[in-house]
Amino acid sequence: MDDHRQIELVVTPDPYVTVRYAGASGDFNPIHIDEEYARAAGLEGRILHGLWTMAQVARAAVQGAEVATPEDGYALKSLSVQFRGMGKLFGDVVVRGAAEADGVVKLDATQGETRLIRNARALIH
Amino acid sequence: MLNSERIGHEYPPLVYAVGREKIREYAAAVGDTEPLYTDLDAARAAGFADLVAPPMFAVVYAGGGLEQGLFDPQLGIDFQRVVHGAQEFSWPGPAVVAGDEITSVFSVGEIRETAGLVFYEFGSRSVNQAGATVCEGKWTIIVR
């Protein structure tokens, strides 16, 4: 993959994305799926799952690449992230990244002014 | 009341059978339309036995293990105050495909307190039915 490749992935959540992700992932923490619970917890409303946002970073990191082969497994060899602000169920989630040397890709994910994931580092082979 | 004696403790293994429709459900939930994850013919044409699970599907086959730590009475974590601080995965082995049986073991890693926050790190190692390590994870939980 060419070095210095610039990455951008824009994902628009819909009001039920956390419900689908809860079912798919098994993470039914009510803070993601129950508006009243989330408000009682002091939030404006339900929040995105951090691991859903990390999945968007994982997708973005291998954009345009063959994601897996039987011989070499996944193109994405590792991914580490730090979670920061809480994601809302409206407003585009934007993943931006840049490929560096030796398969390293550095990324972050934002939603408006909120930084959802910072210092993400992926290794692609 | 940090229980540092719990560091290194391993929880009982969890076995997860990877299903084709579960992979499709997960891919749909994260909005990923990659054919290897959704189109059986495409996956087979690429040489895989069945649909490929996205790498982050690790949260499905291994994620249940985190609850062993979060609800470990020896750790006494207040679930209401938990936030997910950081996450690391590596995928050193073959891609996970439908039909695989994945065994994951969670362990208690570092526990530390900084500025009123307690950081718990849990490690996970997942192996497939052939004994190959398919994913290793480090799950950092912060208790506010």
Interchain contact, A25 vs B54, CB within 8 Å: no
For B27-85, how does the pLDDT look when each residue is reduced to its tens digit (9 = 90+)? 999 999 999 999 999 999 999 999 999 999 999 999 999 999 999 999 999 888 888 99
Q: Where are the beta strands (DSSP E) in B1-144?
A: 14-17, 82-90, 101-114, 117-127, 133-143
Locus of tokens 């439908």: B98
Mean pLDDT of the region B93-108: 98
The pLDDT of residue B79 is: 82
pLDDT at B129 over 90: yes
Q: Which of A59, A67, A77 sits opposite B90 (nearest CB)?
A: A77
The pLDDT of residue B80 is: 80
Residue A23 belongs to a domain? no
Residue A34 belongs to a domain? no
Residue A82 belongs to a domain? yes
Residue type, A61: A
How many A/B residue pairs have CB atoms within 8 Å? 105
pLDDT at A122 over 70: yes
pLDDT at B10 over 60: yes
pLDDT at A64 over 90: no
> What backbone phi and psi angles, to 5 degrees, belong to B103?
-110, 125
Residue A40 belongs to a domain? no
Q: How many domains does chain A have?
A: 1
B67 at the A interface (CB within 8 A)?
Answer: no
pLDDT at B2 over 80: no
E strand or H helix at B59, and its extent? helix B58-62
d(CA B96, CA B52): 6
Whole domain around residue A91: which residue ranges?
6-14+48-124
A14 at the B interface (CB within 8 A)?
Answer: no
ipTM of the complex, rounded to two decimals: 0.95
The pLDDT of residue B46 is: 98
* Percent of residues, chain A, with pLDDT higher than 90: 93
CATH number of the domain encompassing residue B57: 3.10.129.10
Residue A38 belongs to a domain? no
Q: Which of A23, A27, A70 sits opposite B63 (nearest CB)?
A: A27
Interchain contact, A24 vs B52, CB within 8 Å: no
Q: How many domains does chain B have?
A: 1
CATH number of the domain encompassing residue A115: 3.10.129.10
* Percent of residues, chain B, with pLDDT higher than 90: 91
Q: Which of A6, A61, A55 lies closest to B31 in space, CA to CA?
A: A55
Q: How confident is the model at residue A2 (pLDDT cuts 50, 70, 90)?
A: low
The pLDDT of residue A96 is: 98
For A99-115, how does the pLDDT look when each residue is reduced to its tens digit (9 = 90+)? 999 999 999 999 999 99
A 74-113 residues inside an 8 A Cβ radius of B: 74, 76-83
Q: Which residue of B has its CA nearest to A11?
A: B31
pLDDT at B11 over 70: yes
Residue A59 belongs to a domain? yes
Task: Tell me the average pLDDT of chain A.
Answer: 95
Ordered alpha helix ranges (H), A43-85: 50-61
Interchain contact, A52 vs B29, CB within 8 Å: yes
Whole domain around residue B69: which residue ranges?
4-143
Q: How confident is the model at residue A3 (pLDDT cuts 50, 70, 90)?
A: low
